[in-house]
Amino acid sequence: GAVVSQHPSWVICKSGTSVKIECRSLDFQATTMFWYRQFPKQSLMLMATSNEGSKATYEQGVEKDKFLINHASLTLSTLTVTSAHPEDSSFYICSARLVSGGSYEQYFGPGTRLTVT
């Protein structure tokens, strides 16, 4: 089956620093990837849609200058949390869309737990 990885699986950083999270589709190409954020005991909220070779589309209320998304290849999308603050501490999950024969599947990564101290 299709596999999506995320790196790192967890990260602790100091307030004011930036942290990059990688999302890779290991055995398929994904022109579209998605980034979600999940706060404790809450649902997954879509942050942005990442499109290979073009700018990401951000959901309302998500600061694009704070959450930089780069989808430079068909197998890699990165999310950089710039100038992180404790309120950015969350579980970040990516998914990658596999298109096949006019239909599609979405595969989720295992998530990255970010703690900002």
Partner 1 sequence: AQKVTQAQTEISVVEKEDVTLDCVYETRDTTYYLFWYKQPPSGELVFLIRRNSFDEQNEISGRYSWNFQKSTSSFNFTITASQVVDSAVYFCALSPLFLTGGGNKLTFGTGTQLKVEL
Binding site for partner 1 (CB under 8 A): 32, 34, 38, 41-46, 49, 51, 57, 91, 93, 95, 97, 99, 102-104, 106, 108, 110-111, 113
Closer of 79 and 93 to partner 1 (Cβ): 93
Closer of 64 and 83 to partner 1 (Cβ): 64
Closer of 16 and 105 to partner 1 (Cβ): 105
Number of Cβ atoms within 10 Å of the Cβ of 53: 9
SS (H, E, C) 26-37: CCCCCCEEEEEE
